């Protein structure tokens, strides 16, 4: 079962059945779409080829476990044409922009979120030739743009240790830092030897695109790095955090995985 854009699929969520027009795929059979209806409303888009109305305001993501079957008429798979798809996408985009406009206040939080949308687009379209990937190395400390947060998630521009990379340095695993030396007795907060750098927040370890790396973190005109002792202590904490910690009771890393550290 392969789900494609322009097709119409039946989904069943909590015994509520809808027919969904597929706008695009996120991954195999994981797609984004909008419901279609037989009757008109002010916020719906008419699709002549199927004589139905799409509802941009109800855009959503769908996974295989809720999908039942595709729409077929007279033995043929029902799908809209390219012009109709572009029209529905255009109206859906406008609906999302209007939602953002209505649900962001004219304060610093609203401005911060909208600015992050712009910054993220700039990161997405950043030319690979400007990335200077060869300049980044394991255990360097760099400024990372973590973006906008939800709740207590990590946010904003902050330094982090480049721990290891994959995909020809397209992706990095990083250990974020805080400028305050916590000394808070949490075993997963490690104070680096260089007091000018700060504290490693092991619990915020993350995988990021190289495009989020803004620039190296300099101390006395040199790129800051962790010491050999810092490295050894961080390794100990990582093993404890992911394997042996009674505090978090996690057993999700194999010994083979930890060897990569």
- In this structure, the answer to whether residues 137 and 240 fall within a common structural domain is yes
Question: Rounded to an integer, what distance in angstroms lies between the CA atom of residue 178 and that of residue 159?
Answer: 8
At residue 128, the pLDDT reads 64
In this structure, the answer to whether residues 156 and 232 fall within a common structural domain is: yes
Q: Is there a domain that residue 19 lies in?
A: yes
- Mark whether 79 and 140 lie in a shared domain: no
Whether residues 138 and 254 share a domain: the answer is: yes
β-bridge mates for residue 37, sequence order: 53
Q: Does residue 219 sit within a domain? A: yes
Q: Is residue 115 part of a domain?
A: no
134/97 same-domain check: no
> Is the domain of 33 the same as that of 144?
no
- Out of 53, 88, 103, pick the residue that ends a domain: 103
Contact 162, 244 (CB under 8 A): no
Q: Is residue 111 a part of any domain in this protein? A: no
Name the domain count of the chain: 2
Residue 15 lies in a domain: yes
Any domain includes 198: yes
Q: Are residues 84 and 159 in the same domain?
A: no
Per-residue pLDDT tens for 14-54? Answer: 999 999 999 999 987 799 999 999 999 999 999 999 999 99
What's the confidence (pLDDT) of residue 244?
61
Query: How big is the CA angle at 63 (ends 20 and 28), to the nearest 5 degrees?
Result: 100
User: Residues 146, 203: one domain?
Assistant: yes
Which tens digit of pLDDT belongs to each residue from 184-232?
Answer: 788 999 999 988 888 999 999 999 999 999 899 999 889 999 999 999 9
User: Which domain does 57 fall in, by range?
Assistant: 8-103
In the prediction, which pLDDT does 254 show?
A: 47
Contact 53, 35 (CB under 8 A): no
pTM value is 0.74
* Shared-domain flag, residues 89 and 145: no
Residue 167 lies in a domain: yes
CATH of residue 165: 2.30.30.110
Say whether both 140 and 255 belong to one domain. Answer: yes
Same domain, 182 and 148: yes
- Same-domain pairing of 59 and 135: no
């Amino acid at each position: 079962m392969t789900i494609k854009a322009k097709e119409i699929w039946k989904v069943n969520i909590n015994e509520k059945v809808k027919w969904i027009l597929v706008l695009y795929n996120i991954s195999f059979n994981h797609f984004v779409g909008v419901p279609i209806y037989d009757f008109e409303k002010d916020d719906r888009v008419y699709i002549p080829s199927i004589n139905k109305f799409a509802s941009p305001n109800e855009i959503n993501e769908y996974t295989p476990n809720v999908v039942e079957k595709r729409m077929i008429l007279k033995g043929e798979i029902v799908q809209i044409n390219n012009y109709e798809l572009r029209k529905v996408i255009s109206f859906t985009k406008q609906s999302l922009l209007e939602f953002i406009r209505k649900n962001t206040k004219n304060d610093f939080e609203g401005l911060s979120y909208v600015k992050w949308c712009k910054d993220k687009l700039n990161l997405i379209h950043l030319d690979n030739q400007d990335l200077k990937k060869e300049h980044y190395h394991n255990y360097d400390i760099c400024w990372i743009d973590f973006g906008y947060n939800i709740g207590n998630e990590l946010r904003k521009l902050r330094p982090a240790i480049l721990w290891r990379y994959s995909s020809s340095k397209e992706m990095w695993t990083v250990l974020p830092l805080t400028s305050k030396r916590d000394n808070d007795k949490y075993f997963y907060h490690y104070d680096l030897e260089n007091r000018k750098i700060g504290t490693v927040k092991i619990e915020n370890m993350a995988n990021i695109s190289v495009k989020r790396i803004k620039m190296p973190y300099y101390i006395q005109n040199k790129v800051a790095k962790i010491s050999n002792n810092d490295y050894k202590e961080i390794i100990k904490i990582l093993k404890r955090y992911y394997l042996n910690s009674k505090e978090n009771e996690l057993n999700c890393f194999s010994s083979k995985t930890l060897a990569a550290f």
